[in-house]
Amino acid sequence: MPNTTELFASAPLGPLTLPNRLVMAPLTRNRAEADGTPTPLMATYYAQRATAGLIIAEAATPNAVGQTYPNITAVHSARHVAGWRQVTDAVREAGGRMFLQLQHGGRVGHPATSGLTPVAPSPVPLPETVFTPSGHRPAVVPREMTAEDVRTTVADFARAARNALDAGFEGVEVHSANGHLLHQFLAANTNRRTDGYGGPVAGRIRFTAEVTEAVAAEIGADRVGLRVSPGNTVNGIAEGETEEIYTALVERLGGLGLAYLHQVFADPADPVFRKIRAGWPGVLIANPVLGEGPATDTVRRASERLLAAGADLVALGRPFLANPDLVARLRLGAPLNPVRDRYLMYVGGATGYTDYPALGAETAQPSRSSSVALDGPRVA
């Protein structure tokens, strides 16, 4: 097992040189304005965490119909770009670097939130409720995407990537994981199409591949990452042929020269992880499975184990969420702040967001005047 100093060694990533190998994973926090515009509070939140080797900002939608929940971010208007510019300026001033994740929710959405009927590869509804401005509501049957919808959505992703660079991001991450639109195309239970975007594995990977290729053509492949979550069943996904799907995807995109491939819930003992690492020619970011309330040693050892198994960078979500100075804590072996689950999502304000203390600061507690959570713990 490598020495812990490897976590803090510099690493190349596309046009960047990262000061360490710790990546802040994208985490939906629902602190944007209703129209998806980032807020000054978000600039504070990300700037606090600028010591990460790379920050991958939370999912931003490339078009209006891609919205999942209330108060998530977007990047398809001039106002969105201006809002994000405040965030990237603050992070850059604090010494950090940022990519922006681009996410279309597909069937994970609701007309009560977006004003639009969700679209998906096939008219298969989400088998659970969806959070909306008025609380949880039954999911609706999504509209099956036409060939024109597919072409338009690919173009929307490319345009959103250009907007992200205009907003000051170093690059973007295409989200093809966690049961959202691109993952819905990959999965057999949500993709029942009989055209060239469905059926066998080669058809099911086509949409993810075309979106990624279009984004790379727009802003340069070395500024584009792709996120995948092989075998993940969140949001009602049942892929079928998981190993074949990701082998084919790696083969199709491996020669494109992408900045990275980002695997969620990576396990070095998993044959799919090993096959992806063996087949992917570029940088691999791996996100470990940590469980609830991980201790410093747990996080550090899981990260080192992934590096030893061939990952180039390690993405951490909840540890960065609760510890703005996570890099320093891991370097020193200092205790980690626990995550306050009640304030993860569907809430506003600073509590459980920008009030996590750094080393040496007094432990912050939720104030009585803070916004009240509208839902239980959930992070997308």
Reported as a single tens digit per residue, the pLDDT across 146-202 is 999 999 999 999 999 999 999 999 999 999 999 999 999 999 999 999 999 999 999
Averaged pLDDT, 94-122 = 98
Question: In the prediction, which pLDDT does 328 show?
Answer: 97
Q: State which H helix or E strand residue 149 sits in.
A: helix 147-166
Report the percent of the chain where pLDDT is more than 90. Answer: 89
| Residue whose C-alpha is closest to residue 186's, from 229, 225, 216, 150 | 229
Mean pLDDT, residues 350-370:
68
Q: Which of 97-111, 121-135, 267-281, 355-369 comes out lowest in average pLDDT?
A: 355-369
Model confidence band, residue 344 (pLDDT cutoffs 50, 70, 90): confident
**Given this model, what pLDDT does residue 4 score?**
54
Distance CA 15, CA 170 (A): 8
Q: Which residue has the higher pLDDT, 347 or 331?
A: 331
Work out the average pLDDT over 231-246: 97
Q: State the average pLDDT over residues 221-248.
A: 98
**Biggest CA-to-CA distance, the chain:** 59
**Percent above pLDDT 70 for the chain:** 93
pLDDT for residue 371: 31
Q: Stretch 68-74: mean pLDDT, rounded?
A: 97
Q: How far apart are CA 330 and CA 299, in angstroms?
A: 8
Average pLDDT over residues 42-68: 98
Q: Report residue 1's pLDDT band, with 50, 70 and 90 as the boundaries.
A: very low
Q: What angle do CA 45, 51, 56 make, to 5 degrees?
A: 60
The reported pTM is 0.94
Q: Is the pLDDT of residue 246 over 50?
A: yes
pLDDT at 343 over 80: no
Which of 243, 239, 118, 127 minimizes the C-alpha distance to 189?
239
Residue 205, pLDDT > 70, answer yes
**pLDDT value at 14 more than 70:** yes
Strand residue runs (E) in the chain: 11-13, 16-18, 22-24, 54-61, 73-74, 98-102, 119-120, 129-132, 135-138, 143-144, 171-176, 224-228, 260-266, 284-288, 313-316
